[in-house]
Structure 1
Amino acid sequence: MTDLPQHNPVLAEAAYTGISEAGIRLEALPEGHLLHVLGATEPSALAAELAKVGLATSSIRQAGFRQWFVAGGEPIVPASLDALAAALAGKAFVTDQSHGRVRIGISGRSSRALLSKGTAVDLDPAVFAEGRSVMTMVSHISVQIVRTGEDSFELTVLRSFAETLWDDLRHMAASAVKDEA
């Protein structure tokens, strides 16, 4: 049917294809899947269930008390979502947030300097280790920050704030590069 809404990635325009400044890389990550899992299940048990439904490569990120985001670069198949919900029935609830949230990657030697301009979270590797996540504010926007490597982070933001966050990050990147010089 031609009248059905079409999915348009929010950061797909040329202006959002990625920014590389000296020491910083911003990139719009694929709008694959993002599931919100709420309930009395542990990450290891959740990982086992994800593997059973074909989502073994998805990343599990703590999003609060007994809450996790499950993120991956590929769209989720409805049958996999249904199977995961059935497997977790009675222990946790699963909601598909793929349509409502966007992921942005930040990497490079100045990535922490960039993020420190917008958030008060201590991103030192000794405190904020790889794989750790936190719900916080960047500028005035609520985001989840995940450390994905030594000098790389992923930010998850509500879709309606993605362009504003991107613009803020772009300005912070320019300022961080000047500060590092």
Structure 2
Amino acid sequence: MPDLPQHRPVLAGARYNGMAGSGLRLEALPEGHLLHVLGAIQPAALAAELVKAGLANSSIRTAGFRQWFVAGDAPLPPAGLDVLTTALAGKAFVMDQSHGRVRIGVSGRSSRLLLSKGTAVDLDPSVFPEGSSAMTMVGQISVQIVRTGNDSFELTVPRSFAESLWDELCDMAASAEKDGGV
């Protein structure tokens, strides 16, 4: 019998530390867990259920009307998914997207400028404060952008587009640095 395929992170070891003084960093984030939750449950109630399911360190991101992504760095134990699915029965549906999406971190004082080259979302902190999220396009690739700090963002992209998005971000960063814009 052939060996079963082994999971290999799409962007394993990928890093981009901009030119000296640019203050820009791109990094592939751990492929932990990503759940898509749909239903009539409030984020506070969802957070309480995540704690019960052993996913207290996960973050909840708005993904649309009555839709959230629950993201975390640790792999999802099957028992945790079962506990959460049972707890949310009748209130929300849970779909494990861990295998199908990849997260990329963009940080540094030039991160907002870099992302503004690829998306029409207004990333000014007064409009898009920490914790905000938006489903948008970067170039031709669908992503969710989340502000995780003053100068840091997380992009969630379908797995099959992760390398293309990575290359596009690196190209935009290198071009901006060459022109002195980042």
Shared fold, TM over 0.5: yes
- Percent same amino acid at aligned positions? 75
How many residues get paired? 178
1:79-118 alignment to 2 at 5 Å? 79-118=79-118
Which residue of 2 is the match for residue 149 of structure 1?
149
Structure 1 residue 179, shift from structure 2 partner: 3.8
What SS does the aligned partner of 2:10 have?
Answer: coil
For structure 2, the 5+ residue unaligned runs are none
What are the Cα deviations for residues 29-72 of structure 1, in whole angstroms up to 9, with x where unaligned? Answer: 00000000000001000000000111011000000000000000
What SS does the aligned partner of 1:156 have?
Answer: strand
What SS does the aligned partner of 2:48 have?
Answer: helix
Check whether the contact 1:33–1:97 (CA below 8 A) recurs between aligned residues: yes
What SS does the aligned partner of 2:103 have?
Answer: strand
CA distance in 1, matches of 2:173, 2:57: 30
For structure 1, the 5+ residue unaligned runs are none
1:96-175 alignment to 2 at 5 Å? 96-175=96-175
CA distance in 2, matches of 1:179, 1:93: 47
| Amino acid in the other structure paired with 1:139 | G
1:24-35 alignment to 2 at 5 Å? 24-35=24-35
Structure 1 residue 90, shift from structure 2 partner: 0.2
CA distance in 2, matches of 1:6, 1:37: 27
What SS does the aligned partner of 1:128 have?
Answer: coil
TM superposition score normalised by structure 2: 0.95
Structure 1 residue 142, shift from structure 2 partner: 0.1
Query: 4+ residue stretches of structure 1 with deviation over 2 A?
Result: 175-181
